[in-house]
Structure formats: structure tokens, C-alpha cells
């Protein structure tokens, strides 16, 4: 399974302690996932977008503001 990093320096919330933790966004199998890393609670991976093309479309609009 091939992973492509889309954004490697984003911030998110740990689902356990709700502190801001570093996260990265990557695509795998045409889906987009976010992986979070909390010092105390370890790694969490969640589905971010179910469709990679949707993410790219949204991201483009987001940048144009």
C-alpha cells in the first residue's frame, strides 16, 4: 500500500487529552487520513476525507480563500 504525504506539519487535537498535537495528512488507497502523535497517548489515525479528489478540490478552494 502506497502512502503519499499531503501535509506533514499540521496541528490537531489529541482525542484523549484534547491538547494540541502535531499531525500529518497522507493519502492511501484514494482516501485521506490524518495521523496524530501525542507524547502521552501515542499515535492516532483517523479518516480525514473518504475521497482524495474531494480533498484536493477543497484544499484548492481553501488556498484561494
Smaller CB distance to Zn ion: residue 28 or 43?
43
Smaller CB distance to Zn ion: residue 40 or 64?
40
Instruction: Judge contact between 36 and 17, C-beta under 8 A.
Output: no
Q: Does 41 bind Zn ion (CB under 5 A)?
A: yes
Choice from 17, 20, 45, 54 touching Zn ion (CB under 5 A): 17
Smaller CB distance to Zn ion: residue 46 or 51?
46
Amino acid at each position: 500500500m502506497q502512502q503519499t504525504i499531503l501535509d506533514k506539519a499540521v496541528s490537531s487535537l489529541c482525542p484523549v487529552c484534547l491538547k494540541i498535537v502535531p499531525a500529518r495528512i497522507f493519502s492511501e488507497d484514494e482516501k485521506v487520513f490524518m495521523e496524530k502523535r501525542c507524547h502521552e497517548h501515542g499515535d492516532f489515525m483517523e479518516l480525514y476525507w473518504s475521497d482524495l479528489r474531494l480533498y484536493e478540490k477543497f484544499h484548492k478552494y481553501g488556498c484561494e480563500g
